[in-house]
Structure 1
């Protein structure tokens, strides 16, 4: 009878580990699946936990030292060295792990994005837990190498990087909007306090004028602080301005706006043209609304006139 061999088994995340005593490699698979929570129908592969060597030969299994630690892998599971961070909850400890440089992973440690790619490969949903720095690292990764690490086609990796870039852009816009709202609320609060204390003149001089909403930042420009902040924004500022602000930008023209914004002629011209197009679009919307009203009003007016005529006709015989 074959002697029973004490050994250990774990899953690919190394979060579950159990000690077993088994007589054969097949028995290791059966008991390992049972302890690790796999079903009896699952196809598993046995590898050495320390270096990922695949163990398929029964004689090789019997020659291994006692208490050897094995890793059981599903079809989609992949072995990775201890320093690799998997998808589960291990992402929380990623920044505190001391990375080791050894011969096993020197060939695959191609960049700081590698661990993030392995994390995504195990659980794509973990992307929502990544910081902006992690997302930017993935965006900057070489597309072909990222595709290889994730097991994607190059086109799919490109789409992933474009999506991550859009997420970063949206977060930046949200941050700017939040900062703009905070500035606006502070300005309103300060203005309210000054209105409540009319007997106490402001001691700040011209420096306080710039912080008040509705007060000119620069006497020569005539623009409010909020308007200037929106104009200098990165994404479609013309869509976030009021019609009055758009009219002011278009009326001032390119040369005047160059001095206000401190931009070059080409950039300022593009902004003024965008504002003019947005203003035209809004005016067209107003005209369309007025046209719709003009179409419906005559019917109602004619109906009222006919009704009045009928009433007068009924009163005339009397």
Structure 2
């Protein structure tokens, strides 16, 4: 009997608390689950109630002072410090914590954003390593439920979602800038190739089945991925390459109406959006060229201007 250790155990809301005398950490889990009404086969984690330290080692358990208070946590529960309030309002805080936890555990725990929110709750800096898909999942999460899962005020959760949306917008802008740079470099390479090599005769039917090693729909001339993006509901013009935008604009309303299976109004709106996006990119190319011209030596300025003009003319032909 001298090896038995008096201690206390509670659940994560601290609403239930019991005194136990147990000889080991395993016995603490067994009896604690029994007293707190947990299922016998349910996995629990033992932590110190005052600071959340996880207790897994039997030797450490035996070294703890008598009457140490432990907390048993389910797999999806996390430790949080006790909220101290005056006696007149303490019951209101206790009830709100219980109701909030029950609501989150019952509905939000099954949502894709729940585990991401728990990850942020443990370490907010982990947001830096999240993928665009994870960030979009958190942005789309209901603000009140996200605030509850993070332990934030709703306004703070909304501010966090706005910040993540700005990160996504910036990454999209960087992606578009990269495409513009690739277009500029491609125009430069084409210009150099025309000066060094004679023009090669075109091969009939060479691009019917594939372009640059990628399959092309023979009926429409578009790659399957391009058609899928065009049929999307949210700003498809922003996710198309500049070459795809040129092709869409050059096809015209009647051809694109047959290719996409849209009505005339929807097809016209899509082509107008593609044309506007193409004009924006044309302006960006011209701005890049202006900056480049201002920083280049005179000896190379003329050739680079000629290459950029070809790229701009290519964009302008698609937007006209």
Same fold by TM-score greater than 0.5: no
Please report the TM-score for the alignment, with normalisation by the length of structure 1. 0.41
| Larger relative contact order (CA 8 Å, sep ≥ 6) | 2
The structure whose Rg is larger is 1
Please report the TM-score for the alignment, with normalisation by the length of structure 2. 0.41
